[in-house]
């Protein structure tokens, strides 16, 4: 939601990035304020996941130009774990499997790391168990997932729910959810969207990365951006997603590219 007294959380200016010498991001501009929900749409290969990973600090990508400020600080100076602790959360398009590491241990370590950051008490395994089971109920997740290895042999939809579970535990300032809707059936989509909506508040922001309009029926964005070849080529309100759905992505290209952001 757009608030009058909101403050800027994320400020991306002319961001360029390469991977293995190939330029992928070619000058991204984006401003995200507290309380807002943004959607980034675009065809496969347009650079959406690259953008998400660059913000999270993935080492494969080299920043070749531009700036990223997060709450007034230079985000690009921070290591990936420092960005996470500062409140940046990435819901992975393809969540990683970690055999041998129990999900509950992993979740508790991540949660306690965030608690330390917030100057709050860490939870022992029993206290944490109560908390995590409560959160899992909201996402209609089976508690069995706690004892299984992180994401190992989870179905696509289960992995996505596990991502949202982590988001709910970490309570980030800004969550970038990369194709969280893909691989979800309609019930799961509703549950996950419901979870995301419940977490959204005046102090945080959400960036939904998707190439379908579907999820935006459940999570209503304040802004929709269209990405094309590593640039944001169009920005509009929630109706832009419907236009895209109706006319396809080629429709954008006929129009004049605009400078994105608000």
Partner 1 sequence: MSVALQNLINKPYEHGFVTEIESDVAPKGLNEGTIRLISTKKNEPEWLLDFRLKSYQQWLKMEEPKWSNVKYPKIDFQAISYYSAPKEKKKLASMDEVDPELLRTFEKLGVPMHERAALAGVAVDVIFDSVSVATTYKEKLAKVGIIFGSISEAVHTHPELVKKYLGSVVPVGDNYYAALNSAVFTDGSFCYIPKGVKCPMDLSTYFRINTEESGQFERTLIIAEEGASVSYLEGCTAPRFDTNQLHAAVVELVAHDNADIKYSTVQNWYAGDEKGVGGIYNFVTKRGLAKGKNSRISWTQVETGSAITWKYPSCVLQGDNSVGEFYSVAVTNNYQQADTGTKMVHIGKNTRSTIVSKGISAGHSNNSYRGLVRVAPTATNARNFSQCDSMLIGDLCSANTFPYIQVRNNSAKVEHEASTSKIGEDQLFYFAQRGIGSEEAVSMIINGFCKDVFQQLPMEFAVEATNLLGLKLEGSVG
Q: Which of 6, 23, 105, 229 forms a contact with partner 1 (CB under 8 A)?
A: 105
Looking at beta carbons only, is 39 or 136 nearer to Mg ion? 39
Check residue 145 for interaction with partner 1 (CB under 8 A): no
Which of these ranges, 53-61, 71-79, 93-101, 237-245, lies near Mg ion under the rule CB under 5 A? 93-101
Check residue 34 for interaction with Mg ion (CB under 5 A): no
Task: Supply the DSSP symbol for 173.
Answer: S
Partners of residue 148 on adjacent β-strands: none
- 200 binds, options ligand ADP, partner 1, Mg ion, none, Cβ within 5 to 8 A by partner type: none
DSSP reduced 3-state for 56:
helix
Sequence-distant (6+) residues with CB within 8 A of 19 are: 50, 60, 61, 62
Mark residues 36-55: x for contact with ligand ADP by CB under 6 A, - for none. ------x-xxxxxxx-----
Q: In what order do the strands lie in the sheet with 22-33?
A: 22-33, 8-19, 61-70, 73-74
> In this structure, are residues 93 and 182 in contact, taking their beta carbons and an 8 Å threshold?
yes
> In this structure, are residues 8 and 33 in contact, taking their beta carbons and an 8 Å threshold?
yes
Check residue 24 for interaction with ligand ADP (CB under 6 A): yes
Residues binding partner 1 (CB under 8 A) = 56-60, 79-81, 84-85, 89-90, 92, 95-96, 98-102, 105-106, 108-110, 113-114, 117, 125, 149, 166, 170
């Amino acid at each position: 939601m757009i608030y009058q007294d909101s403050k800027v959380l994320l400020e991306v200016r002319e961001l360029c990035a390469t991977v293995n010498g190939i330029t992928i991001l070619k000058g991204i501009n984006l401003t995200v304020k507290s309380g807002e929900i943004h959607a980034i749409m675009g065809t496969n290969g347009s650079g959406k996941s690259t953008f998400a990973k660059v913000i999270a600090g993935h080492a494969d990508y080299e920043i070749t130009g531009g700036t990223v400020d997060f709450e007034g600080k230079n985000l690009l100076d921070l290591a990936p774990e420092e960005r996470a602790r500062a409140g940046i959360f990435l819901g992975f398009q393809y969540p990683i499997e970690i055999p041998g590491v129990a999900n509950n241990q992993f979740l508790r370590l991540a949660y306690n790391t965030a608690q330390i950051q917030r100057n709050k008490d860490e939870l022992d395994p029993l206290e944490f168990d109560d908390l995590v089971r409560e959160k899992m109920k909201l996402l209609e997740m089976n508690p069995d997932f706690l004892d299984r290895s992180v994401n190992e042999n989870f179905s696509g939809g289960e992995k996505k729910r596990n991502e949202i579970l982590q988001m709910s535990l970490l309570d980030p300032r800004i969550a970038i959810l990369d194709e969280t809707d893909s691989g979800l059936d309609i019930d799961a989509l509703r549950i996950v969207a419901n979870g995301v909506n419940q977490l959204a508040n005046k102090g945080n922001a959400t960036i939904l990365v998707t190439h379908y309009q579907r999820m935006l029926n459940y999570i209503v964005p304040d802004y929709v951006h269209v990405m094309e070849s590593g640039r944001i080529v169009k920005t509009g309100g929630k109706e832009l997603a419907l236009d895209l759905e109706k006319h396809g992505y080629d429709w954008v290209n006929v129009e004049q590219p605009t400078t994105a952001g608000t």
